[in-house]
Amino acid sequence: MNNKKLKITETVLRDAHQSLIATRMKTEDMIPILEKMDQVGYHSIECWGGATYDASLRFLNEDPWQRLRTLRRRLKNSKLQMLFRGQNILGYRHYADDVVEYFVQKSIANGIDILRIFDAFNDLRNVETAVRAAKKEGGNVQLAMSYTTGSAYTLDYWKKLASDMESLGADSICIKDMAGILTPDMADRLVRELKTQVKVPISLHSHCTSGVAPITYVKGVEAGCDVIDTAISPFSMGTSQPATEVMVATFAGTPYDTGLDQNLLAEIADYFRPLRDSSIASGLLDPKMLTVDVKTLLYQVPGGMLSNLVSQLKEQGAEDRFYEVLEEIPRVRADLGEPPLVTPSSQIVGTQAVLNVLTGERYKIMSQETKAILRGEYGKTVKPFNPEVQKKAIGDAEPITCRPADLLEPELETLEKEISVFKTQDEDVLSYALFPKVATEYFKYRDAKAHKIDPDKYDLTNRAYPV
């Protein structure tokens, strides 16, 4: 039996609001409660990475680096954790090694303690550079296996993956169940097997989309899991994580007692509840995101992907076709080599499923990202691609079989030159590298605001001020 105290990673500042309200929580919404969160004694607070970087620039007119520095100053006693997509960093393509190395360096320098690094295909060639860079900077590396199901995803597959992760230098390993499809029995077997395979701690991350996550956590902890990811109750359940207070109560008085103070957690919940309620009132939090859909066990759709699908269909006036899209997703996934559905593969598969449904003909329109997967630009999938779909995407071209980043020339020097007119901090080049158009618009907004000028009347490129 595991007699060690169970540890908690709190996700409300990252994955919880990414899953429920499309990553729209502002830094100013976080600041008033940070001091109390810092008193809890969490194992870590997941507060950065994932979609927060893109959303900060694109929707909130916020600098993600300033957010990180703000969180670091106010969470003095807590370990800050981020989600890092390996060679994708926080974007949607592979970046050259020099960009990956610089991003890791700046993340740690600005306050990140733990980097949870994963690859959407579990292709470890795509995390090597990030792991090496994090180790060089003294960061704590948690490698995450993107959990999914399918004939190729056996216990032996997961055991070998975990062993390879430990050999690569992982300080801990996370079972990343982004779609909420890890069942209690499988969690019990998987954690027990991994505990015999590796010596590093095991974290368990799941979503309540299918409704089984709280029970899965119980079985995982009893099997030896060291850390679980939870979200404070107002931003828990549905497509988010199990509620922090509920899991703390579940293990109270057991050998796994977390020792966390329920009164303090209740104060934190009281703070976030009005934010949740206002998100519902504004329509930002769709009630669909809070319901249990056991069909998730068939569709394997992660929480963040669900909220994005709802948004896409709303924009097209096609919300009534939501379940048609869900049924198309596993078919597209099979065509693309049965990858786990996690960013960026989840967005690519989801968008292609939407295109297939709304056009009425499968692959009549194929996104550039779908073609990139079928060219091998994202790495190796566990199963081969559908040859007919691949031929439609790339014709007779030879697909990529090496580590995709080996084909990329260093980018930083060129990016620095392109960004020089906008740059006010070193980190700006990284925002530009990941999201050139979005970052440029943000720089324009930031610059105009600094000069108290309407951004719409200001030509940033030429530094032209209206007369």
Asked if residue 458 lies in contact with residue 466, where contact means CB atoms within 8 angstroms, the answer is: yes
CA geometry: angle 101, 106, 112, nearest 5 deg: 110
Asked if residue 127 lies in contact with residue 158, where contact means CB atoms within 8 angstroms, the answer is: no
125: tokens are 């060639």
Residue 461 pLDDT greater than 50, yes or no: yes
Asked if residue 84 lies in contact with residue 117, where contact means CB atoms within 8 angstroms, the answer is: yes
Query: Domains of the chain: which residue ranges?
Result: 7-282, 301-401, 410-451
pLDDT in tens, 160-212: 999 999 999 999 999 999 989 999 999 999 999 999 999 999 999 999 999 99
More confident residue, 256 or 307: 256
Amino acid code (one letter) for 30: M
Confidence label for 464 from pLDDT (cuts 50, 70 and 90) = very low
pLDDT at 80 (0 to 100): 98
Helix (H) or strand (E) run with residue 115 in it: strand 114-118
pLDDT in tens, 91-119: 988 999 999 999 999 999 999 999 999 99
Q: Which CATH superfamily is domain 7-282 in?
A: Aldolase class I (3.20.20.70)
**Residue whose tokens read 């925002």:** 431
Q: Which CATH superfamily is domain 301-401 in?
A: Conserved carboxylase domain (1.10.472.90)
pLDDT in tens, 159-172: 999 999 999 999 99
Residue 465 pLDDT greater than 60, yes or no: no
- Provide φ and ψ at 243, rounded to 5°: -70, 135
- Provide φ and ψ at 117, rounded to 5°: -110, 135
pLDDT in tens, 391-400: 999 999 999 9
pLDDT at 137 (0 to 100): 98
Asked if residue 203 lies in contact with residue 173, where contact means CB atoms within 8 angstroms, the answer is: yes
Asked if residue 20 lies in contact with residue 307, where contact means CB atoms within 8 angstroms, the answer is: yes
